[in-house]
Amino acid sequence: MREYNEVMNKYYDPEKCVFFENALQSNAYIFRGNAELQAVLDSKRNPGRFVFAFLISDHKRLREKWKNHEL
């Protein structure tokens, strides 16, 4: 089910997303991996911290590059 994200001003499907609190990894996905940011949320585990949502397909494409320090 799609949800509206006020920060991004668009709808996203949380079931098709992975969520990161790691700002460095999120930055690399966006600016060096050309991943589209789906939503920016507030962390439930760590209030006051951002959570970044990406499509699972982008995560699958970029996770090995991230692990191998290629991003």
* Statement: the pTM of the whole predicted model exceeds 0.85: yes
CA 49 – CA 63 distance, rounded (Å)? 22
Q: What is the pLDDT of residue 4?
A: 95
Place 58 in a pLDDT band, splitting at 50, 70 and 90.
very high
3-state SS of the chain is CCEEECCCCEEECHHHEEEECCHHHHHHHHHCCCCCEEEEEECCCCCCCEEEEEEHHHHHHHHHHHHCCCC
Q: Where are the domains of the chain?
A: 3-67
For CA atoms 18, 68, 33, 22, give the dihedral sign.
positive
